[in-house]
A and B are shown apart, each in its own frame.
Chain A
Amino acid sequence: MKRSRVPFFTTITVLVFFYLPLIVLSINSFNDSRYGGPWKGFTFRWYVRLFHDPQIWHALKNTLLIAVSATLVSMMIGTLAAFALHRYRSRLQMVHYGMIYSPLIVPDILMGMSLLLFFVALKVKLGLFTIFIAHVTFCLSYVTMVVLSRLQDFDFSLIEAAQDLGANGWTAFRRILLPLIMPGIAAGGLLAFTLSLDDFVITFFVSGPGSTTLPIHIYSMMKHGAPAVINALSVILLLITFVLVSASRTMREKTE
């Protein structure tokens, strides 16, 4: 049976569409012209300037601080939530599920706006702490969903088998369930970490003076000149993304 070639060509077109802007951007990062455009010679100037910008390093420090702490907290709370959702079938869990699910759907701007009003109403000073709270709130749902889907795939006769072989509930949890669920928790954590690193809109609403994160810094650079430095920064972030994605994929293939 002959297959249509339309899907194949569409895919190729889409991939070109995906990568063309990124490739142009990468090439431009070595262009000795301030606003891109015509090629004016090869340079590392923008990279050098990037590494000498103290604001970037400050923003990066803030970003990592928030990403690490928000990831850890959302991993803990999210894993517990996933266990609760998987273990119990009560009305409480229906409400719980609704509350976990909604933040996944609600547009960023609504979440940012509502958290801002909340903090303003409580007169909480905007800063790293409010950003941390906001990040845990949206990461939590993602971690829960990832761990929950792993739990749903988990074969619970393995727990019965462990108990049958003499393990009590705690031993079965520690030696069978946890090691087998761990990749799921790690995947949830990785997702939370990247989402936190990436978030601009929500952070923008709840950040205060001195709590500039990397995406916020990029945004202000985009608004107020310095495009060539953003090109350089983009290339570095792209490379990091590429390495992280391939690492997580090989990790997953190994565990499978």
Chain B
Amino acid sequence: MSDFLVFEGVSKRYGETQAVDSVTFSINRGEIFSLLGPSGCGKTTLLRCCAGFEDPDSGRIILDGKDITGLPPHRRKVNTVFQNYALFPHLSIRENIAFGPRTAGWTRGETDKEVSRMLELIQMEEYADRKVTEISGGQKQRIAIARALINRPQVLLLDEPLAALDLKLRQRMLVELDSIHDEVGITFVYVTHDQGEAMGISDRIAAMNLGHIEQIGTPAEIYEAPRSSFVAAFIGDTNFFDGTVTEVMDGSYCRLRIDGFPDVLAWNDKGLQVNNAVHLSLRPEKFNISREQPDALPNRNVVQGTVEDIIYLGSHTKYWVRVEDYRLGIHHQHSRYLLDTRPITWNEKVWISWFADDSYMMERYKPEDENLLVLPDMEVEEEVLPV
């Protein structure tokens, strides 16, 4: 089952840039595996190496026990759904889908049967004889998938397949892709820079940065237990703290001293010792914000701050709260917005609390990655603009 598609020490360099730097990982048969990262992280290069459009400078790619490195694209049981779809403009939809079978020399009967089956799968029977230029983006997307799947590949590669679609269509196509995957059951390798897509569709995600894989795991693992500050910041919002361990307590907790912030209690799953430096991530939804002081609990941190900014987002509200030198981003869900209590407003003194178990310790990102990080502060400002 496992180790169906294996990348072994794959490297690729373009001139000065090391696009992929000795990457090793494996993908299981039948799973949807995402390569997630910012542009230039090497995810597309890995995909192109797998499809055969690029040859890695070193390393091997093994599919189902066979080394496919160096095989030309047309000799691989791997098909690609291209970012811009790359549908052949001079062929009809039916001819586009039939391209692979015809090239492979299937009989006419078998080709026709399979094309009809594919058209049915993507629910586009009535469009079969249209030209590619006469259909919408979402339909092109489906044709591109059908054109690839008809060749019965062992692996389907999807290169940012939803990037050209608008938000609502993207969400619908994501569900559709998932159901197509359920139907055909082959391995999907999905390249995207959109964390929402990756989280929504993948069985496992590889978070990539600067030609390296930072972490591989299920969506929940990646989100809840990011291994590096890059992963924590790229996938979802977070608040970072730098501190030093001042006291190790039994029950896997430790106390941290943070410059410009009250002492905090944190879950010590890394087995740190006194005086160890710590990088801590706290997701905005882990906080509780209230006007009244919450009850003290042994594993609960409670601090006081002042509300500086509020962004109402419908399903939840984002607060920016000043606590000493830090500006915390906090998500507050409201199940009963107006009926609850009077909403918290600007310049109010509020209590912030969170459980020590909800923070997460990790490696600090290297300084050279800093410009690639989507810092929480900046992201909020972007979200304000459209309103």
Direct contact of A and B (CB under 8 A): yes
Indicate if the CB atoms of B100 and A168 lie closer than 8 Å. Answer: no
Indicate if the CB atoms of A166 and B100 lie closer than 8 Å. Answer: yes
Q: Across the interface, which residues of A come within 8 angstroms of B72, CB to CB?
A: 163, 168
Given contacts A165-B151, A166-B100, contact A179 B84 (CB under 8 A): no
Q: Is A161 an interface residue (CB 8 A)?
A: yes
Q: Across the interface, which residues of A come within 8 angstroms of B104, CB to CB?
A: 166
Q: Is B342 an interface residue (CB 8 A)?
A: no
Q: Across the interface, which residues of B come within 8 angstroms of A171, CB to CB?
A: 103
Instruction: Among B79, B89, B90, point to the contact of A165 (Cβ < 8 A).
Output: B79
Given contacts A160-B53, A164-B51, A168-B74, contact A155 B79 (CB under 8 A): no
A–B Cβ pairs within 8 angstroms, 23 of them: A157-B82, A160-B53, A160-B86, A161-B86, A161-B87, A162-B99, A163-B52, A163-B74, A164-B51, A164-B52, A165-B74, A165-B99, A165-B103, A166-B104, A167-B74, A167-B99, A168-B72, A168-B74, A171-B103, A175-B99, A175-B103, A179-B90, A180-B89
Complex Cα–Cα for A162 and B151 (A): 12
Q: Is B202 an interface residue (CB 8 A)?
A: no
Binary contact track B34-52/A, C-beta < 8 Å → 1, others 0: 0000000000000000011
Indicate if the CB atoms of B74 and A164 lie closer than 8 Å. Answer: yes
Indicate if the CB atoms of A161 and B80 lie closer than 8 Å. Answer: yes
Interface positions of B from 311 to 364, Cβ below 8 Å from A: none
Complex Cα–Cα for A164 and B148 (A): 8
Q: Across the interface, which residues of A come within 8 angstroms of B151, CB to CB?
A: 165-166
Q: Is A235 an interface residue (CB 8 A)?
A: no
Q: Across the interface, which residues of A come within 8 angstroms of B80, CB to CB?
A: 160-161, 164
Contact residue range for chain A?
10 to 19
Complex Cα–Cα for A26 and B89 (A): 44
Complex Cα–Cα for A71 and B89 (A): 28
Q: Is A176 an interface residue (CB 8 A)?
A: yes
Considering the complex of A and B, which 7 residue pairs feature the smallest CB-CB distances, nearest first? A165-B100, A161-B86, A163-B73, A157-B86, A166-B103, A166-B74, A164-B80
Q: Is B147 an interface residue (CB 8 A)?
A: yes
Complex Cα–Cα for A165 and B104 (A): 9
Complex Cα–Cα for A161 and B72 (A): 13
Interface set of A (CB-CB < 8 Å, partner B) = 155, 157-158, 160-168, 171, 175-176, 179-180
Indicate if the CB atoms of B74 and A158 lie closer than 8 Å. Answer: no
Q: Is B25 an interface residue (CB 8 A)?
A: no
In the complex, what's the smallest C-beta–C-beta distance from A95 to chain B, in angstroms? 24
Given contacts A165-B79, A165-B103, A166-B104, contact A160 B73 (CB under 8 A): yes
Identify the closest chain A residue to B100 (Cβ).
Answer: A165
Q: Across the interface, which residues of B come within 8 angstroms of A175, CB to CB?
A: 99, 103
Indicate if the CB atoms of B103 and A161 lie closer than 8 Å. Answer: no
Identify the closest chain B residue to A180 (Cβ).
Answer: B90
In the complex, what's the smallest C-beta–C-beta distance from A109 to chain B, in angstroms? 43
Complex Cα–Cα for A168 and B71 (A): 12
In the complex, what's the smallest C-beta–C-beta distance from B189 to chain A, in angstroms? 13
Q: Across the interface, which residues of B come within 8 angstroms of A160, CB to CB?
A: 51, 53, 73, 80, 82, 86
Complex Cα–Cα for A163 and B104 (A): 11
Q: Across the interface, which residues of A come within 8 angstroms of B89, CB to CB?
A: 158, 180
Indicate if the CB atoms of A167 and B103 lie closer than 8 Å. Answer: yes
Instruction: Among B79, B87, B90, point to the contact of A164 (Cβ < 8 A).
Output: B79
Complex Cα–Cα for A179 and B72 (A): 23
Indicate if the CB atoms of B103 and A158 lie closer than 8 Å. Answer: no
Identify the closest chain A residue to B51 (Cβ).
Answer: A164
Q: Is B261 an interface residue (CB 8 A)?
A: no
Complex Cα–Cα for A11 and B92 (A): 41
Given contacts A164-B79, A165-B147, A166-B104, contact A155 B74 (CB under 8 A): no
Complex Cα–Cα for A2 and B202 (A): 55
In the complex, what's the smallest C-beta–C-beta distance from B168 to chain A, in angstroms? 26
Given contacts A163-B72, A164-B73, contact A155 B86 (CB under 8 A): yes
In the complex, what's the smallest C-beta–C-beta distance from A162 to chain B, in angstroms? 7
Indicate if the CB atoms of B52 and A165 lie closer than 8 Å. Answer: no
Q: Across the interface, which residues of B come within 8 angstroms of A162, CB to CB?
A: 88, 99, 103
Complex Cα–Cα for A164 and B54 (A): 12
Complex Cα–Cα for A180 and B103 (A): 18
Complex Cα–Cα for A100 and B74 (A): 35
Q: Across the interface, which residues of A come within 8 angstroms of B73, CB to CB?
A: 160, 163-164
Q: Across the interface, which residues of A come within 8 angstroms of B53, CB to CB?
A: 160, 163-164
In the complex, what's the smallest C-beta–C-beta distance from B118 to chain A, in angstroms? 13
Complex Cα–Cα for A160 and B86 (A): 9
Identify the closest chain A residue to B157 (Cβ).
Answer: A164
Complex Cα–Cα for A175 and B96 (A): 12
Indicate if the CB atoms of B82 and A161 lie closer than 8 Å. Answer: yes
Instruction: Among B74, B84, B88, B147, point to the contact of A176 (Cβ < 8 A).
Output: B88
Q: Across the interface, which residues of A come within 8 angstroms of B74, CB to CB?
A: 163-168
Q: Across the interface, which residues of A come within 8 angstroms of B78, CB to CB?
A: 164
Indicate if the CB atoms of B86 and A158 lie closer than 8 Å. Answer: yes
In the complex, what's the smallest C-beta–C-beta distance from B5 to chain A, in angstroms? 16
In the complex, what's the smallest C-beta–C-beta distance from B158 to chain A, in angstroms? 12
Complex Cα–Cα for A168 and B53 (A): 12
Identify the closest chain B residue to A183 (Cβ).
Answer: B90
In the complex, what's the smallest C-beta–C-beta distance from B72 to chain A, in angstroms? 7
Complex Cα–Cα for A73 and B51 (A): 39
Q: Across the interface, which residues of B come within 8 angstroms of A176, CB to CB?
A: 88
Complex Cα–Cα for A180 and B133 (A): 14
